[in-house]
Amino acid sequence: MSAPEQAQGPCRVTGAENLPAQAGGAGAICAAVERAVAAQAPNVRYSVEVRVLSRTALAANVETAGRKLPELRFSVSDRELNPQAIGHFADSVADALAAARER
């Protein structure tokens, strides 16, 4: 298993070496998550550990307010991960945090 690539903030990515070049790397994933959370769940404190499972799939463990949310899984069936797919994944993380805040 690879060492985590740490980005600034509450996001950590493991397995970034499995990403296709066009996906933008670990920093791009964390930047997308941070933008989505800022837009959809502002002021929510969270941490997210993203695992790159393959060139087409991601998984995330998300925590907020000391609570672990159900694991999120995301995959693309017709191509490899790219910036648009990463954006959709980031939106799903933000959606989960927004929903958890409302409970």
pLDDT tens across 2-22, in order? 444 443 469 999 999 999 999
Q: Is residue 24 exposed (0-12), middle (13-18) or buried (19+ Cβ within 10 Å)? A: middle
Lowest mean pLDDT among 4-8, 25-29, 75-79: 4-8
What integer best gives the mean pLDDT of the chain? 91
Is residue 93 within 8 A of residue 40, CB to CB? The reply is no
| Domains in the chain, CATH or no CATH each | 5-102 (3.30.160)
pTM of the model: 0.88
